[in-house]
A and B are shown apart, each in its own frame.
Chain A
Amino acid sequence: MSTFLRSRWGVLAGFAAGAVLLLVAAPAALSAFNLALLGKFICFAIVAVGIGLAWGRGGMLTLGQGVFFGLGAYIMAMHLKLADASLFGGSGVPDFMSLYGSGEVPGWWEPFRSPVVTLLAVVLVPGLVALVLGLAVFKRRVKGAYFAILSQALAAAFAVFLIGQQATTGGSNGLSGFRSFFGFDLKDPSNKMMLYSIAAVVLLLALAAARQLMRSRFGELLVAVRDQEERVRFLGYDPATIKTVTYVIAAVMAGIAGALFVPIVGIISPADVGVIPSIAFLIGVAIGGRATLLGPVLGALSVAIAQTSLASTFPSFWVYFQGLLFVLVIGFMPGGLASLPRLVSRLKQRRTEQPGGAAPASAPQVPGSAVPAPATAATTPTTVPEEASR
């Protein structure tokens, strides 16, 4: 079975199953409201695919993906506002600008009247920002916690900047009230269905791209950089280039996800792009298993679903639960839920090999973690009594 899953046909079958699940089964089973929710979660999952590459494979703790998500989202939102204003208002000036500002469209909004420029900018602007940032940071050998703090600070600064621009970005209210999407009426259920389908297809494409990258020579090199950055240098590679390329790919994925988020959810505000959402992106990835292909996606989806269902029942409780989950996973299961099958099989193996329960001293480690995996087995849900007592 596992060899089949690894073969070419197995992979194609897996993608086909994913496509059927997302594009046929989900629309058939879910109400329009829940389907839109799933569409929103899929946007988070696309961000998660990029984080899985950058953090899981590249070792870059990207605590500020909200910036790139926000760039893509605001670019799309500006276009939708301008298009709405021309279609419905006639004046060509978005409603909130007349309310809070001078009633004139600022010059830097103008390029986004064009659908082509908008679509290009959704990809290029996050990509270029990540390129400049990545070169500046990684060439100077900033890494580890310093990189994480820097990217987080950037997310905070970005949100503060947006809040300050009441007249041009809607301030803390953000941009909302979109009525059309490239000429399609956003109230029409079939257009909502189309938006959901686009998000699902983009997720599948992002997964395919991530898989190709992970299995390519570049992917092997990326793992090498994650584990032994200095050693890679002595082989004649510049790790900064490898890390920057990966960071750019993750940023582009986040930007596209942001652009899809806007028409699906209908609002983008600083609260969707700042520090807290940036961390939330990461939690799903950590829980799912950052170094795997599907772990980040499944983690992001399940955290988002859990948040929606739990937060409506116990609004104040969710944040604590999320924090606890994060601590538990990072502390005791650094490979995430994706490492669970491996942990279970190792546990079984150990029980059959050594009935006394004495653990082998030198067990292999979970990739990308500093914590020896066997010690974590005691805290997984599959705990057996004698293991738990250790």
Chain B
Amino acid sequence: MTVKEEQTIIDVALENLTSEVERVHADGYRLVQIGCTDIDGSYEVNYSFDKGYQFKNLRLTIGPETEVPSISGIYWGAFVYENEMHDLFGIPVTGINIDFKGTFIKTAEKYPFSVTRAGGDRCRNV
């Protein structure tokens, strides 16, 4: 299988997130997605970008209560993923351009994918 795409993952610190995203934006990348993974009680957040099938990821590792600055001022469409981060994982994201304040995704249980959630239905690897 010959897939013509490169994938890179770059770790970023919380304080450098917006400046790194601004740099990626200035380089002409589009935002593909923002996704969270729980890692032993903390979160790994992947900000994925693409330009001409070059796939670049900025990876942020944060604790469960850490506030994350929104990148919706740089990528307007990021509000979808940032509201999802909040509504499913309970990660507080500050300064979202369209902040649904927990009502974007309506779930029976609050923050169903949160690493701090208790109960037998919890993630297997936590």
Q: Do A and B come from one complex?
A: no
B interface residues (Cβ-Cβ under 8 A, vs A): none
A interface residues (Cβ-Cβ under 8 A, vs B): none
